Amino acid sequence: REDGSGYNSEDEYSEHPSKQLTEEEWRQRDLIFARSLEKRGFIIKPMVEDGACLFRAIADQVYGDQEMHSVVRTHCMDYILKNRDFYCAYVTEDFNKYVSRKRHDFVHGNHLEIQALSEMYHRSIEVYCYQLKPINIFHGAQKSDYEPIRLSYQRASHYNSITNPFNPSVGVGLGLPSYVLPGEMDRRQLNDAVRQSEDLLIEQTMMEDKLKATDWEATNEVIEEQVARESYLQWCKDNEKRRKQEQAGCSSSTITSASSPRSGGASPRSTA
Model pLDDT for residues 197-250, shown as the tens digit of each residue: 677 778 778 877 777 777 677 777 778 777 777 777 787 887 888 887 777 777
| Selection from 34, 36, 53 nearest residue 44 by Cα | 34
Q: Within this chain, do residues 240 and 121 fall inside the same structural domain, yes or no?
A: no
Q: Within this chain, do residues 134 and 201 fall inside the same structural domain, yes or no?
A: no
**In whole angstroms, what is the distance from residue 227 CA to residue 223 CA?**
6
pLDDT at residue 210, rounded to an integer: 75
Is pLDDT at 138 greater than 50 in this prediction?
yes
**Residue 53 annotated among the catalytic residues of the structure:** yes
Do the beta carbons of residue 118 and residue 96 sit within 8 Å? no
Q: Within this chain, do residues 169 and 185 fall inside the same structural domain, yes or no?
A: no
Average pLDDT of the residues in 76-93: 95
Q: Within this chain, do residues 21 and 103 fall inside the same structural domain, yes or no?
A: yes
Higher-confidence position of 178 and 210:
210
Which of 179, 202, 218 is the last residue before a domain boundary? 179
Query: Within the chain, what is the greatest distance between any pair of CA atoms?
Result: 184
Which of 128, 151, 179 is the last residue before a domain boundary? 179
Neighbouring residues of 51: CB distance < 8 A, sequence distance ≥ 6? 5, 6, 105, 106, 107, 108
Q: What's the CATH number where 129 sits?
A: 3.90.70.80
**In whole angstroms, what is the distance from residue 40 CA to residue 22 CA?**
28
**Residue 158 annotated among the catalytic residues of the structure:** yes
Tallying the residues shown for the chain, one arrives at 272
- Residue 111 within a domain: yes
Considering the candidates 30, 53, 76, 108, report the single residue annotated as catalytic: 53
Range of the domain at 198: 180-250
Considering the candidates 16, 50, 186, 199, report the single residue annotated as catalytic: 50
Neighbouring residues of 8: CB distance < 8 A, sequence distance ≥ 6? 54, 108, 109, 110, 157
For residue 4, name the pLDDT band (cuts at 50, 70, 90). Answer: very low
Is pLDDT at 184 greater than 60 in this prediction?
no
The number of distinct structural domains making up the chain is: 2
Q: Within this chain, do residues 111 and 185 fall inside the same structural domain, yes or no?
A: no
> 60-79 pLDDT, tens per residue?
999 999 999 999 999 999 99
- Residue 4 within a domain: no
β-strand partners of 14: none
Is pLDDT at 178 greater than 50 in this prediction?
no
Considering the candidates 30, 69, 76, 158, report the single residue annotated as catalytic: 158
Higher-confidence position of 114 and 213:
114
Dihedral Cα 241, 247, 249, 253, nearest 10 deg: 180
| Selection from 11, 15, 1 nearest residue 97 by Cα | 1
